[in-house]
Structure 1
Amino acid sequence: MHLLNTKFVTIFLAFALSGFFKSSKHPLHVSTTEVNFNAKDKTLEISAKIFTDDFESVLVKLYKQKTDLSNPSIKQKMDELVKKYLISHLQLKANGKPVALNYIGFEIDHEATNIYLEVEKIPALKSVEVNDTILYDMFEDQMSIVHIVKASVRKSTKILYPDKSFTANF
């Protein structure tokens, strides 16, 4: 009898959860940002990874434009939107001073969008402060994973909405 109840519960949970996951592609709202100090080139190399469906949804919500990040025929228009969004939702300070992010571009990688930026003319790095509000205008359960790397030292954290910043000192 106990084995029968266990099978019933297992089958019931499988059906219940399959319906849940079909209605929401991924119940976890997370983005990842990595900042690497390139001592040779004296630059900060920044990459952000965001679920494409969530990213497209926030772009439509904010900018009221057709958005399709995987469509090559509107790539230039999408570059403009991605740049506008990232520059306003990701700010950095290096050694206590705000720095300008240069947008490099984006690419689709399976279900995620990878966005690349850089900061030039960073001769030495003592600290990096990341202010990250990516997807905060969409989800109140948003989590941002932030990695800051200098040589072999990697400092990481998770920032949970409504918190926004992380500072790493070297």
Structure 2
Amino acid sequence: MFRANFLFKFLKYKQNNGHDIVQYHSNENFELQDQINIEIIDIDKKISENSKALVEAQIVKFKSTFSRSNNFIEQIGKNVYKTKLEDSINWHQKKLKYLYLRRRELEINLEKLKGIYWINKIKRILNLILIGFFILSTLFIFLSGFMIIIYLLPLIILIFLVYLVSTKRY
């Protein structure tokens, strides 16, 4: 009896209290969107700063590569300087990669909040398909043109020989 009563209470249909008043706070969604937009702007600033620092480090590396120094002490300093410069460049590249990934995650979250995630996803997929189709059609046209030239090569040589024989003056 106890088991039957327990199962009845466990499986019993619960009535929906749909007459309760539900409050909708639409400004919370907008506040979250504003917060994500602010984070994206901050990440864009950091990306800009890191890109500038990376370009400066690459310029210094380029200048140090082509500078001429015959002094032994300068050569040793140059080798130490290059290793530190390479470490700096690698760090900036890793930081930029992380920032771009973080920015992409925030953009996806913002798209999900706005409800345009799947539309943008479909657009990206269609763009990839269009680019792939363009590349494949370009390769097909190039290769077919190349094959046509190879197949017509005996005819082109024959026309050229006929032209040489006909223009030869006796």
**TM-score, structure 2 length as denominator?**
0.26
Higher helix share: 2
TM-score, scaled relative to structure 1: 0.26
| Structure with the greater alpha carbon radius of gyration | 2
